Amino acid sequence: MKLAGVIGYLGWMLVAMALPAGAESVEQWGVYEIKLTGPATGNPFVEVQVAAEFTQGGTMVRVNGFYDGEGVYRVRFMPEKTGEWTWQTRSNARELDGHCGTFTVVPAGPHDHGPVRVAHTYHFAYADGTPYKPLGTTCYAWTQQGPELEAATLATLAASPFNKLRMCVFPKRYDWNTNEPPQYPFAGTPTTNWDFTRFNPAYFQHLEQRILDLQKLGIEADVILFHPYDGGHWGFDRMPAAADDRYLRYVTARLAAFRNVWWSLANEYDFMKEKKESDFVRFGGILTQEDPYHHLISIHNGQLMFNHTLPFITHASIQNGSAVEDAGRAELFRDVYRKPVVFDEVKYEGNLPRRWGNLSAEELVFRFWEGTVAGTYVGHGETYLSPDNIIWWSKGGALKGQSPARLAFLKQVLDDAPAEGIDPIDKWQSPAYGGQAPNYYLIYLGKQTPASWEFLLPKPPLGAGQPAAEGMQFTAEVLDTWNMTVTPVPGRFVLHKRDNYSYVDRDGRAIELPGRPYMAIRLKRVND
């Protein structure tokens, strides 16, 4: 590694995270880390500022660093371009200022697609263009349960279909989750004697290790920055504004270089009675300024919807169970926000004595499919009572419900769908139809139990895909979304225009169905 500038300062070194010591390269969207030794006296968290400027040609990215305890300072950089980069540190501390060097960014490996971005207005893709179709779950406090249970959670996730996990930074205190965490985010004495100017590096080191564990599994970490499940027990839900802002800058400096991070400003933000809506707008501004990689940002509601049209909000994170009982209602959120819509909470599969935690598996899977054909995305949660109070939605552990296997089947369908995602075909008249007209259609029949389905394609409204045309040919498959089967329908269907709004099969064919609920029909255009 090439080093320049003043090298008389002792005790500092440069490393690249996840690479051998002295490595001169890092892969695109990996993490390059500068590790320096500097002042350990006073309060380095507030008195010392350190950053680095990373330069390649005409591109310069300024990245803020952070104090990691015991005199160690780190600056983490996620390079988004390959080739040679140079860097130089800036600091108000003499020991940390003016260090510089170079490194090479090599092409990303086969499992590194970069951070997730918004694509095609209502959908997502990785930075390299690979489609990303979220199928998320919730484990709010899984990182505060100790090594044995956390390892069990990771093993469960490794065998699950989920590619996104909602999780809190702060510990959670709520029904069925009243245990104290092994450690706390601030220096001080539990439960309320905290010094909000001094972070506990060990707490955040553990958090980031778990985020990297998720990254190895291909799972996005939807990091919830604030939540109301504290009630003043620790006081992390009612810190003063200066402490909130300092915390956001510290967390961003630590985590922003991890490509699988999403930011959720809060869970059920409107239940945080010590905060105002304007506080969360301020938080969004801080993240936008401090995160040089512009990770996805959302905020989750309780009863009061946030203004998801604000520019810093990349996608709408919605709690609403009834909206996904019907694809037509779910789609309306797309019309309002004109962004990707993720129904992160639609109530949970389980048997809690709470109306939000006692859905049947059939009902949860049904809501996923309604949201899917609406062109939105739906999140999973599980809340089965357990004598040890280990419930997936809060602590993780093992999944007990019947929905994950069915959601794995849905994931296969999503993976097979067009890269552009599934959009409503005729949202005002035929909400059961999703797809990409005229090449791909997914029709979900929900709780209906017909014995047959007339082959019928609506003409998409102006601007909602290309219209079908006389003579186009399609293959058809019947999908049993509960029993997880795909049954091809013999032959091909040939379009014939019935009227100004629809096409039928030229020979008047229908598709036989078993008379059970939760059936879907998949149509693919044949191009020969």
* pLDDT (tens digit per residue) in 378-399: 999 999 999 999 999 999 999 9
Paired residues of 52 in beta bridges: 63, 89
Q: Which two tokens stand for residue 181?
A: 């965490």
Q: What is the mean pLDDT of residues 212-217?
A: 98
How would DSSP label each residue in 61-129?
EEEE-EE-STTEEEEEE---S-EEEEEEEEESSGGGSS-EEEEEEEPP-TT----EEEETTTEEEETTS
Summarised one tens digit per residue, pLDDT across range 500-514 is 899 999 999 999 999
- The whole-angstrom separation of Cα 493 and Cα 508 is 9
Mutual angle of helices 241-255 and 277-290, in 10-degree steps: 30
Give pTM, 2 decimals: 0.94
Task: Set out the domains of the chain in order of their start, with CATH numbers.
Answer: 3-106 (2.60.40.10), 131-416 (3.20.20.80), 423-526 (2.60.40.3950)
pLDDT in tens, 443-496: 999 999 999 999 999 987 655 567 788 999 999 999 999 999 999 999 999 999
Contact of 63 with 143, CB cutoff 8 Å = no
Q: What is the Cα Rg of the chain in Å?
A: 25
Contact 267, 224 (CB under 8 A): yes
Beta-bridge partners for 304? none
pLDDT at 401 over 90: yes
pLDDT of residue 21: 32
**In the predicted model, what is the mean pLDDT of residues 228-235?**
97
What mean pLDDT is predicted for residues 213-236?
98
pLDDT of 106-151, one tens digit each? 999 999 999 999 999 999 999 999 999 999 999 999 999 999 999 9
Residues 6 or more apart whose Cβ sits within 8 Å of residue 2: 101, 102
Give the DSSP H or E segment for 522: strand 519-526
Q: Is 512 helix (H, G, I), strand (E, B) or coil?
A: strand
The pLDDT tens digits of the residues spanning 345-361 come to 999 999 999 999 999 99
What confidence score (pLDDT) does residue 187 get?
98
pLDDT in tens, 168-214: 999 999 999 999 999 999 999 999 999 999 999 999 999 999 999 99
Amino acid, res. 305: M
- Predicted local distance difference test score (pLDDT) of residue 464: 57
Report the share of the chain in percent with pLDDT over 70: 95
Count of C-beta atoms within a 10 Å radius of residue 273: 10
Calpha distance 244→185 (Å, rounded): 13
CA distance 391 to 384: 6
Length of the chain: 528
Report, as an integer, the average pLDDT of 154-165: 98
Find the mean pLDDT for residues 351-373: 98
CB 384 within 8 A of CB 351: yes
For 54, residues 6+ apart whose C-beta sits below 8 A from its C-beta are 60, 61, 62, 63, 77, 79, 85, 86, 87
The whole-number pLDDT of residue 428 equals: 87
The span from the CA of 465 to the CA of 372, in Å, is 17
pLDDT beyond 60 at 343: yes
